[in-house]
Amino acid sequence: MDIILETPEMFDEFKTKSFLIYTDIEKHGEVIYEKQKTRA
């Protein structure tokens, strides 16, 4: 198991780059924890 910690914005940017693993993570990965945004 590999764990990637990334902001949603950075993940969206990285998943379009085929030379990185984020494309496969989007297809086959699973979110195991997602922090809720807090109101300012």
The model's pTM is: 0.59
From the CB of residue 13, how many other CB atoms can be counted at a distance below 10 Å? 13
Residue 22, domain extent: 1-40
Please give the tally of structural domains in the chain: 1
Two structure tokens written together for 23? 């494309």
With a cut of 80, say whether residue 39 has pLDDT above it: no
Taking only the tens place, the pLDDT of each residue in 3-36 is 888 888 998 999 888 888 888 888 888 888 888 8
Two structure tokens written together for 34? 């997602």
Q: Can you tell me the distance from the alpha carbon of 34 to that of 16, in angstroms, rounded to the nearest whole number? A: 21
